[in-house]
Structure 1
Amino acid sequence: MPNASARPKNGRRSRRRRREDPARNELVSSSLESAQQCLFNQDYGTAFVHYLLVLNLAPMFKDFAKDSFRFTLFKWTEELDSVGRIQDLFDCYEQALELFPADEVILNSMGEHLFRMGFRDEAAGHFHKALKLRPDYPEARENFYRVANWLVERWHFLMLNDHGRNRKYQQAIQKAVQSGCNTVLDIGTGTGILGMCAKKAGAAEVYACELSKTMYELACEVLAANGMDGSIKILHMKSLEMEVPKDIPHKVSLVVTETVDAGLFGEGIIESLIHAWHHLLLPPQRGENEFQEQSATGRVIPAGATVFGMAVESAEIRRHHRLCVSEVGSLSMSAAGELHSPVSCSSEPDDSMEPYTTERLSRLPGGYKSLTEPFTALDIDFNNVQELEGLSSREVRRIHLPVTQEGELDALAVWFQLHLDEESSLSTGPQEDTCWEQAIYPVHTFFLKPRDELIVEVSCRDAYLRLCSVAVLRDGREIRLDKRLDSQHCENPVSNPNPEAELCSALACLKTDQNQTKDYSMLECSEMALLNNHDYHKSFCSALTKLISQLKVKWQNQERRSGDQLDCSDLFYVLDVSEGFSLLSLIAASRGHVKAYSSVEKKKQQEVLKRLARSNNIPEDHLEFWLNHVEDEQGMLQRPSREKLWSAIILDCVETCGLIRQKLMEKASLASLTYCRVKCISMICIRCLLEEGGSIFPAKIVVHGMLVESDTLLLESAVQGQEPTLGFNIAPFINQFTVPVHVFLDFSTLECRHLSESAELFVLDLMNATANYTDREVKVRATSGGRITAIPFWYHIYLDQDISVSTFSQNSHWKQAAVVLQQPLEVQAGDWVCLTVKLHKSTISMTAHVANAPRPMEQ
């Protein structure tokens, strides 16, 4: 035993002074000099290594070198990203964070890389840390809002605000626990609400699992706040990975889950329940007449489901999945081949295709028409493991549906009734007041008539519910829809008023299809809708024609003044940097005397443009794919050649979701620099982009908005009310993920009251970025009294002074967005409401207050 009474002679040892190490100092000094020289030479990789060496050997230089180190890190990781060295990229960030663990800028930048690579949970963690270090850091706040939309989807708020759904689940769980199911597993717990219902009902043991790290951490916080963190064990893992007794001590008597999507099986409920029945759940009750202790049997809530379907006509669905036009901006589309969205209802599974998409039919722009009565597509018993295991091998079921109204067959709409137990159920039908959307199976477009019979096949070959319209029975003849070509390949196959002629046309298409190989290309739903946006392409066509005519006149005037014959081989150069698939470069090339550069990347889509160029008599050398020759995005905005400048640069300025595209203003600032304005700046001379008289399309964006009262937007944005949800304190935790801007909004069908006329909120001048402001105060007069809960906004995109397109037009491929106020604002008719609109980079924020009233916090 040590001598406890022994004490050192001195109460505090003197600190030993570190000896100077000349060799070490020399290494630090030379490495720092080398780092700075490499940085000057744009050798960012070597500079980064030197900075690491310096800062590890001499931490006292951290403050001095911090900004240069950050800059080097960001430039070097950009290079690594461009060549696909992703692991090296993240290694660099980890090394940087070892040196600067509390640097909010580095944390935010790493989060941006993680989010772009699809690591959303990890990205959210980095944005959250950056905000904790610096709550007023706008980049981290905007990034956190963006990732929050992915991690905590808006349906979480809708479900927690759906009091009827919550009560029914609570009652079913309470009844099961009181009948003897006292050990419970909650699969996909989310906020933890179902597990807490089981514990509150008296379950002896409750376990829960959650795959999403964000939701797992949120559920842990919720359990702790409700005093249940010691009585409910929550696991951050898939239920498919759980084992007894490794993860839970024994099998449970009740599984509760709501891992169902609009198509019922899309979240993997079949696979997880089969695994649960074999590994985590007690055997089911054998039969009504066979005595068995309730505690020795297992069961599932929900107990089963019934799936319903209906054939519908909808122009909105059609234009997002099929090409509906024969011309796009004066280009004939006959040579495009088959273009379709990634959503296919084919009975044959295809990994590249989605079996369905989702829509809320009650909010579908333009509405929909029912062409058949609802039919039962499927019944499933979740308490019958043999039935679950046999689902994928079930025979394909054929259903004959009498057509009740004539119209164009565009889709099969699907919903279901979820049977929680023998007495209680939830419906996701289109007429229900529910938080659910419906599953949409786009089909082969065909004009149906009364007395027709539509033949639908239902299968579950890969544990996805698949519905496919395969044929129409008409006058005793069967017209196969799954073998027909789409409308662009046949002469009027969809809506021929003569039934006999239509039948002959369909059969002719079938025969033609058997004798040719189809060229096809897959486009995103938003890209299909863009192709079908006639006004958009017509406006661009007019603006480009006008610009080229003006430039030709300018050239001719120069020729007359100089007396020199200009080279007639000189072309106008147009660059289209639109995101995804775009025909604007081809439209430009079709104007004549134009060489156009497209940013389309996918080889199959490039082939579509080449075919269209040939069929529209556009010279092959007048279309070039710019990204085939540059390695990074910044390289896109360079000269077309050493001598030439761009005549026009087309920027994709608005995202489909309704937000201004990120880095738009930076691109516009670079693109609008003319040669004479930057020729003295050597760093930018290679990017003198527009020729004199050239233009950026669009030249200007005007943001419009309106004051509205909408309970729907409130319910989709945060858990509402002061009362706890089923008695549990959940709202403060889930509402941390409330975002101020609601996206993918259909304002034309939004349930709301208009409290004002539309007003101009903000103007972005892309041709002269120096003329832009960062904030603006606008006064809007309330035309009706009520509560302002949101400010929906949209854009008028001016291609030039006279030609514009709106993101709020009937056939727009864009959605709208809305700022949702944290606190509704009471107004009377005639009140003036002051809106402060701010633009930070590409993010719009707004505050609102009644004139002469106190100003609220920024939204």
Structure 2
Amino acid sequence: APRRRERAAPGTRGAGNARRRERAAPGTRGAGNALLARLPRALGVWLVLCNLCRETFQYTLFKWAEELDSLARIQDLFNCYEQALELYPSDEVICNSMGEHLFRMGFRDEAAGYFHKAVKLNPDFADAKENFYRVANWLVERWHFIMLNDTKRNLTYLKAIENVVHSGCKSVLDIGTGTGILSIFAKKAGAPYVYACELSKTMYELACDVVAANNMGSEIKIFHLKSLDLEIPKHIPERVSLVVTETVDAGLFGEGIVESLIHAWEHLLLPPKPKNQDIPPKEYGQVIPASATVFGMAVECKEIRRHHRVGSREVAGVRLADAVQFFSPTGAAGSPEEAEPYTTEKLSRVPGGYVPLTEPCQVMTVDFNNLQELKSLAVRKPWKLSLPVTHGGILDAVVVWFVLQLDDEHALSTSPSEESCWEQAVYPVQDLPDYSVESGDTVTIEVACQDCYLKIQKVSLGPLECGMDFSNRDNTLNLSNEAELCNALAGLQTTGEQDARGQVCVLESTEIALLNNIPYHECFRAAMGKVLSSLNPSKDLQTMDVDGRGSGLNHEESQSKSSLDAAPDPFYILDVSEGFSLLPIIAGKLGSVKAYSSVEKEQHQTALNMISEANNFPKETLEFWLSHLEDENVVLQRPKSDKLWSIIILDVIETSGLIQQEVMEKAAISRCLLHSGGKIFPQYVLVYGMLVESQSLLLESAVQGTEPTLGFNIAPFINQFKVPVRVYLDLSTLPCVALSKPAELLRLDLMNPLLNSSSREVKVQVCKSGQVTAIPFWYHIHLDEEHSLSTSDKSSHWKQAAVVLDEPIQVKLGDELVLHVQHHKSNISITVKQ
């Protein structure tokens, strides 16, 4: 549960078999296959291949590894790679392939090591670089950089630790040490004995390197263990007098601080200081932070609303069935284990801002130096709080933050009004019949501490004694799958009446934002109608609902009329968008269409079927494509038919702001499956970017020297895990100064690959003096020449990304920079020439 819950970046992109085959010269494949056919199923025989050419060896190794993988002979597979690396220890391709196997099997730390080695061996090896960047996002989450660059946070912790150590504290344990900075603070303050523990192997090794580089390697003992596994005297000779930790997330308890401190008080810390007794600090135990106070506030925020509530019951002419209720998983009772009861936002940078509807209210306090209070949190009954409404508006969320009281003198606040490394916990409000509030109303929330989380279980409006409880979520349920989650959400009720919800459809917040992106759906409807009319120009388009008006016939009447016209073959449309998509149903509104959807989840299929019925579609209009497939590699082929596709819809851009994996390979396959006049959507994509000066992007991407870390040498070690591209940005609120106008950087043509180039140089004119620190980029997605979408629009469900330069470039008005733009697989890299 990270402090800044960045959306998880996709996994490695270099795992495809096609990518490996490209590494083997075509002329060697026949020899490789022949050798493979003669290889006995015994480990080690294939080592004779070391006498052959290196490319043949690589190809045969990869084919043999695939064979072992398919037979689940995992140990043999890794033995093969280990022996191969003994023969070719400096082969970056073999290192990268080994990392890909490890990553797919969940060994991220080990995979990162091989990717990193491959990059060191060949800094220009694009596959390995991309793999390492993606794994780096998993291993060292981006909030580490922001936190280490927060000078105020670091200095406040240092002073609090110094106070305790200078007063006589003898020994210190740092729980969840990360880079080891708090342990270094304790040693600098003069603590004779300092111990630390870290569960992540990557962070453990990084911390060891950091303390060694600061000449404290022999003075700080670091364990690669959870604090719950530390024992006395096995690991630490005796109980310590101080525990320091910052294992807190945006919702305070999400990183397990309560459990770890209960264990520490019972097994690792000296007893707490007795009341009214004056004894030396070395004789009793204490914790930094000493306590925390949690605050909450109800807010109106359009950005939160559009990610958690569907705003319209009609999208591009498609009526959303009243019987289908859409929910985001955040905060829902019985959510899957990976779902959290809150999301996080940096409210000071939310697009469109937010409006406080109530004054901040104290939700709870917790004393980390009180063992009994910590134990009581897990069994504490839910409690209700009433927040008087001070400003009328729309209730969208309850926002939570806290103040960490490190000691009597020093505190840190995560309030949205504070400029710090912290985000705020956001509890979206869902399932109210009316979200409007007026001054004088009361928002009542029910709060609980369960499963190491601070939860807001119920939200109701009106005076407490007569308020209707609109969001009754029973958190005692222990539901393990989506079907049970749907049943639980379907059972939500308002006080005094049973409300039959019908089908509940749980969507990710990005999927709900897509449903709310009306221009996106309107654009697709118009472009699909244009293609279908061009494919059948003799047909009266009034029978098609191309523009939402048609001839006045409803869909059922249009279908009946169409069936009288000698029952022509339908147009086949395939949507392979990721996640929940209405596009196949929108396509079905265009007349004689057979639409195939790639939606996989059963509850999503049920919801789409109900929406189809609500729009009077014949049952055969919509079909779920992946249910026919045993092999995902044939996803673009037609089932049991020699018909070709009229339209294939591809997902080209991730919501993170990056290009989807293998999209150009999918486009190449798609072009072979279109009949004459058929189209891929989008037909081409233009990448736009501009020069900016942004200190925020620098602070979020790498530790900026030793000054923010108070002179300690940490930056070179953590910065090994920096990545050149920042994702999930919103340019409308990114603190930056534009130093140039937007420029077209690259064209990706899915219909005409001859127009593509893997690299190009673009001249950009500087329109304002300053320091170029980054190049944000976004996309214009052209369905055709007339219909396009921009991923930077306000209504967009996409975010933007930015390349952050290693070193800022000083520029003056009128200067010209040359950007070298490269597109490799799904990765865009941008370098600057002056």
Q: TM-score, normalised by structure 2?
A: 0.87
Task: Read off the aligned partner of 1:68 and give its amino acid letter.
Answer: Y
Write the distance in 2 (CA, Å) between the matches of 1:390 and 1:404.
Answer: 33
Query: Given the alignment of the two structures, is residue 393 of structure 1 paired with residue 382 of structure 2, yes or no?
Result: no
- C-alpha contact 2:271 2:284 (8 A) present in aligned 1: yes
- 1:424 aligns to what? 410
- 1:11 aligns to what? none
Once the two structures are superposed, the pairs formed by residues 626-637 of structure 1 within 5 Å of their partners are 626-637=625-636
- 1:734 aligns to what? 718
- C-alpha contact 1:668 1:769 (8 A) present in aligned 2: no
Once the two structures are superposed, the pairs formed by residues 480-499 of structure 1 within 5 Å of their partners are 480-483=469-472
> Deviation string for 1:105-154 (max 9, x for gaps)?
23323423443454322321221122233332111111111111222122
- 1:98 aligns to what? 83
> Deviation string for 1:5-40 (max 9, x for gaps)?
xxxxxxxxxxxxxxxxxxxxxxxxxxxxxx979947
- 1:660 aligns to what? 659
> Deviation string for 1:509-568 (max 9, x for gaps)?
9489605253212111111111111111111111111111111128999xxxxxxx9973
Once the two structures are superposed, the pairs formed by residues 536-575 of structure 1 within 5 Å of their partners are 536-553=520-537, 568-575=567-574
Query: Given the alignment of the two structures, is residue 201 of structure 1 paired with residue 186 of structure 2, yes or no?
Result: no
- 1:700 aligns to what? 684
% identical aligned pairs: 54
> Deviation string for 1:465-484 (max 9, x for gaps)?
11244321259842222159
Task: Read off the aligned partner of 1:817 and give its amino acid letter.
Answer: A
- C-alpha contact 1:198 1:206 (8 A) present in aligned 2: yes
Query: Given the alignment of the two structures, is residue 330 of structure 1 paired with residue 330 of structure 2, yes or no?
Result: no
Write the distance in 1 (CA, Å) between the matches of 2:452 and 2:695.
Answer: 37
Task: Read off the aligned partner of 1:304 and give its amino acid letter.
Answer: S
2:46 to 55, 65, 81: 55
- 1:25 aligns to what? none
Give the Å deviation of 1:54.
3.2
- 1:24 aligns to what? none
- 1:120 aligns to what? 108
Write the distance in 1 (CA, Å) between the matches of 2:464 and 2:164.
Answer: 53
Write the distance in 1 (CA, Å) between the matches of 2:696 and 2:645.
Answer: 47
Once the two structures are superposed, the pairs formed by residues 351-500 of structure 1 within 5 Å of their partners are 351=337, 353-444=339-430, 445=432, 446-473=435-462, 477-483=466-472
- C-alpha contact 2:44 2:80 (8 A) present in aligned 1: no
Once the two structures are superposed, the pairs formed by residues 774-785 of structure 1 within 5 Å of their partners are 774-785=758-769
1:66 to 22, 38, 57: 57
> Deviation string for 1:185-236 (max 9, x for gaps)?
1111111100011111111111111111111111111111111111111111
Write the distance in 2 (CA, Å) between the matches of 1:240 and 1:796.
Answer: 51
- C-alpha contact 1:345 1:466 (8 A) present in aligned 2: no
Give the Å deviation of 1:93.
4.0
Distance 1:469 1:450, change over 3 A: farther
- C-alpha contact 2:470 2:495 (8 A) present in aligned 1: no
Give the Å deviation of 1:729.
0.6
CA-based RMSD of the aligned residues comes to 2.6
- C-alpha contact 1:825 1:849 (8 A) present in aligned 2: no
Query: Given the alignment of the two structures, is residue 228 of structure 1 paired with residue 216 of structure 2, yes or no?
Result: yes
Once the two structures are superposed, the pairs formed by residues 496-511 of structure 1 within 5 Å of their partners are 510=494
Q: Which piece of structure 1 moves more, 541-550 or 420-429? A: 541-550
Write the distance in 2 (CA, Å) between the matches of 1:220 and 1:475.
Answer: 54
Which secondary structure does the structure 1 equivalent of 2:190 belong to?
coil
Which secondary structure does the structure 1 equivalent of 2:806 belong to?
strand
- C-alpha contact 1:192 1:219 (8 A) present in aligned 2: yes
Write the distance in 2 (CA, Å) between the matches of 1:787 and 1:726.
Answer: 25
- 2:307 aligns to what? 320
Which secondary structure does the structure 1 equivalent of 2:679 belong to?
strand
Write the distance in 2 (CA, Å) between the matches of 1:152 and 1:468.
Answer: 32
Write the distance in 1 (CA, Å) between the matches of 2:395 and 2:745.
Answer: 41
- 1:835 aligns to what? 819
Write the distance in 2 (CA, Å) between the matches of 1:801 and 1:51.
Answer: 58
Once the two structures are superposed, the pairs formed by residues 300-311 of structure 1 within 5 Å of their partners are 300-311=287-298
- 1:762 aligns to what? 746
Task: Read off the aligned partner of 1:435 and give its amino acid letter.
Answer: C
Q: Which runs of 5+ in 2 are unaligned?
A: 1-28, 474-491, 542-563
Distance 1:300 1:771, change over 3 A: same
- 2:253 aligns to what? 265
Which secondary structure does the structure 1 equivalent of 2:676 belong to?
strand
Query: Given the alignment of the two structures, is residue 343 of structure 1 paired with residue 330 of structure 2, yes or no?
Result: yes
Once the two structures are superposed, the pairs formed by residues 523-538 of structure 1 within 5 Å of their partners are 523-538=507-522
- C-alpha contact 1:837 1:847 (8 A) present in aligned 2: yes
Give the Å deviation of 1:336.
5.8
Task: Read off the aligned partner of 2:176 and give its amino acid letter.
Answer: G
Asked which structure has the greater RCO (Cα within 8 Å, sep 6+), the reply is 2
- C-alpha contact 1:413 1:440 (8 A) present in aligned 2: yes
Q: Across the two proteins, how many residue pairs are aligned to each other?
A: 760
- 1:753 aligns to what? 737
- 1:16 aligns to what? none
Distance 1:798 1:349, change over 3 A: closer
Give the Å deviation of 1:434.
0.3
Give the Å deviation of 1:90.
6.4
Give the Å deviation of 1:298.
0.6
Q: Which runs of 5+ in 1 are unaligned?
A: 1-34, 485-507, 558-564, 674-688, 851-859
Query: Given the alignment of the two structures, is residue 612 of structure 1 paired with residue 611 of structure 2, yes or no?
Result: yes
Write the distance in 1 (CA, Å) between the matches of 2:338 and 2:719.
Answer: 36
- C-alpha contact 2:768 2:812 (8 A) present in aligned 1: yes
> Deviation string for 1:593-633 (max 9, x for gaps)?
11111111111111111111122122222222221122333
- C-alpha contact 1:127 1:141 (8 A) present in aligned 2: yes
Give the Å deviation of 1:242.
1.2
Query: Given the alignment of the two structures, is residue 649 of structure 1 paired with residue 648 of structure 2, yes or no?
Result: yes
- 1:715 aligns to what? 699
- C-alpha contact 1:168 1:424 (8 A) present in aligned 2: yes
Distance 1:249 1:761, change over 3 A: same
Write the distance in 2 (CA, Å) between the matches of 1:90 and 1:96.
Answer: 10
Which secondary structure does the structure 2 equivalent of 1:553 belong to?
coil
Once the two structures are superposed, the pairs formed by residues 16-55 of structure 1 within 5 Å of their partners are 39=33, 50=41, 52=43, 54-55=45-46
Which secondary structure does the structure 1 equivalent of 2:537 belong to?
helix
Task: Read off the aligned partner of 2:437 and give its amino acid letter.
Answer: L
Distance 1:821 1:554, change over 3 A: farther
Write the distance in 2 (CA, Å) between the matches of 1:172 and 1:728.
Answer: 18
- C-alpha contact 1:55 1:62 (8 A) present in aligned 2: no
Write the distance in 2 (CA, Å) between the matches of 1:617 and 1:118.
Answer: 46
- 1:593 aligns to what? 592
Distance 1:350 1:670, change over 3 A: closer
Write the distance in 1 (CA, Å) between the matches of 2:738 and 2:108.
Answer: 36
Distance 1:617 1:197, change over 3 A: same
> Deviation string for 1:700-753 (max 9, x for gaps)?
000111111111111101111454722211111111111111111011001111
Task: Read off the aligned partner of 2:419 and give its amino acid letter.
Answer: D
Distance 1:113 1:572, change over 3 A: farther
- C-alpha contact 1:345 1:356 (8 A) present in aligned 2: no
Task: Read off the aligned partner of 1:368 and give its amino acid letter.
Answer: Y
Q: TM-score, normalised by structure 1?
A: 0.84
Distance 1:840 1:64, change over 3 A: closer
Write the distance in 2 (CA, Å) between the matches of 1:90 and 1:537.
Answer: 49
1:176 to 164, 187, 206: 164
> Deviation string for 1:837-856 (max 9, x for gaps)?
11111111111233xxxxxx
Once the two structures are superposed, the pairs formed by residues 209-224 of structure 1 within 5 Å of their partners are 209-224=197-212
- 2:13 aligns to what? none
Distance 1:513 1:324, change over 3 A: farther
